[in-house]
Amino acid sequence: MRIIWTRHAEDRQQEWEKRLGITHREVEEALRDPEQIVSGDLDVLVAQARRGKGLLRIPFVEVVGDRKVLTVYWTSKVEKYWKEEQNADTL
């Protein structure tokens, strides 16, 4: 799977790197192996990974098996965005 960065996503990642040290590599790792993927608006998916006392959120769209990053941001509102698994199957 390739990761395709929009210009906006690159700009936002650079801003977050200055503020919180969120690197390009960290974003790509979270996108390749997210702790959670939730639905966003329209056909957008959001990869999520816990980071410190917050949540790294990466909205993206699937493009023929690749992931196109739309933006990147960190939020302290974990409880608002994190989806606890309900009705999870147990072995």
Q: What is the pLDDT along the chain (91 residues), one digit of tens a residue?
A: 899 999 999 999 999 999 999 999 999 999 999 999 998 888 899 999 999 999 999 999 999 989 999 999 999 999 999 988 654 343 3
With respect to residue 9, please indicate whether it lies within any of the assigned structural domains: yes
What does pTM read for this prediction?
0.87
User: Is 50 within a domain?
Assistant: yes
Total count of domains within the chain: 1
- What's the farthest any 2 CA atoms get from each other in the chain? 44
The CA distance from 68 to 72, in Å, is 11
CA angle 83, 85, 90 (to 5 degrees): 170
In this structure, is residue 47 part of a structural domain? yes
Rounded Cα–Cα distance for residues 80 and 54 (Å): 11
Could you give the 3-state DSSP secondary structure of residue 17?
helix
Q: Nearest-CA neighbor of 58 among 43, 46, 44?
A: 46
Domain span at 69: 3-80
